[in-house]
Amino acid sequence: MDSARADALFAREQIAKLGWIPRHAEDFRHLPPPAADIWLGETDDACEQGCDASPLAGAGWTLHPIGQMPPGRVDARWLDAADPDQRAELFAGLPQPGAGADAGDAAPFGWAHRALCRQGLRVRIGGEAGGARQPEIVWLQLRRQPRSAVEAPLLVIEVLPGVQCVLVESHDRGVMDDPRDAGAGAVCERALVQNLQVHLRLGPGAALQHLRVVAPRAEDRIAHHIGVRVAAGARYEQAMIASGSSYHLQRTVAELQGAKAEARTAAVLFAGGSVLEQQVRAAHVGTLTKSSVEALALADAGARIVVNAHSRIAPGADGAALRQLLTGIPTGGQPKIVLRPHLEIHHDNVEAAHGATWGALPEDAIFYACQRGLDERDARAMIVRGMAHAVLARGLDAPELIETLGVEALLERAVERHLATSAPEAQHG
């Protein structure tokens, strides 16, 4: 038996030995995930013909420039996890599921991924090409289209020391915005089960500004796990726009390893008659580290949305500073919104602040907007866009970048989708 097959079988044995995520697991107590056989493709409907993309799609990922920005130095390798040598290269340096800062309840997702992973992409950003000096900023867009109805994609990105990178990661299989996406195959029409693992490695002094857009279909079951290691003096910023589905998990684990390492996440979450959970874990290991977690959760009647934030300051992490701010707003009816900020502090010379707020859209703002000629729906959309824009702008902390990446247009489309299914709140109806 080759090593690739043995590794996949070992992962299945781990799931059988350790069991799947129990309903009482602390990280998943409000939205337990579907059973293991769903993620392993062992259900009856998973045996039907899938929706494979063209082989030209490169493991389902396509790389594109961002506008007219110089792409910079990017080395990308699409690897076959069924080939022993390529699998070894694909998983090289990655931790075992549940190891390190991600030693929480999500480990079974990691083992299920190892068992099912068939292909992956490794990207190395930075360095010199042909003696030429590296451009100041590397601009890159990654678009993902599924290769099968049940999949476990892998993405590994290494940002070399001192390199600055702007990355847009797009998961929207309902829209073909660019004719170049034709190389990724037709949009899959079947319900999707996707267990994605993303590993980001930032070298000393590197910076990664990461915009993620995740818009699954209503019947999809999605779990995205992003693991970030930030070295000394490096900075990671994530801004995310995500919408709900039959099951949707977004989990980011950031490990601030070196002195003055920073990590910031900001998310705008839409759940319209669907479910969505975001989990963010920040581990302060080095001295003078900083982290920020901010989320705006918008949900209508029948929706369930959970935001879990957990920040840990390790012993000896002198001068660490962290902030958490979670906000939940019902856009119609009485959805279930759960906000869970949590701090774990093992050092005394630190700064920490956290909070959670829940409430309706401001009535006075809607009233004044309607007085200026807007109907109620347009007024609500304008207010939601304004609040969402402010959250994402604090995440990326670069107004010119927000404009360059077209965040306004992305938000407008997401808000329009959400409010199209949301009934007005009772007090405004």
With residue 3 as reference, give the H or E element that holds it: helix 3-18
Interval 85-95: pLDDT, tens: 999 999 999 99
Alpha-carbon distance 72 to 356, whole Å? 40
Query: At 417, is the pLDDT very low, low, confident or very high (cuts 50, 70, 90)?
Result: confident
Closest listed residue to residue 416, CA positions, set 380, 376, 372, 362: 380
Mean pLDDT of 48-61: 57
* pLDDT number for residue 182: 44
SS3 372: coil
* pLDDT number for residue 429: 32
Query: At 426, is the pLDDT very low, low, confident or very high (cuts 50, 70, 90)?
Result: very low
- For the chain, domain boundaries: 3-361
192 DSSP 8-state letter: -
Please report which residue ranges of 33-170 form alpha helices under DSSP H.
36-39, 84-91, 107-116
Interval 340-395: pLDDT, tens: 999 999 999 999 999 999 888 777 777 767 767 777 777 888 888 888 999 999 99
Provide the token pair at 166.
């702007």
pTM for the predicted model, two decimal places: 0.91
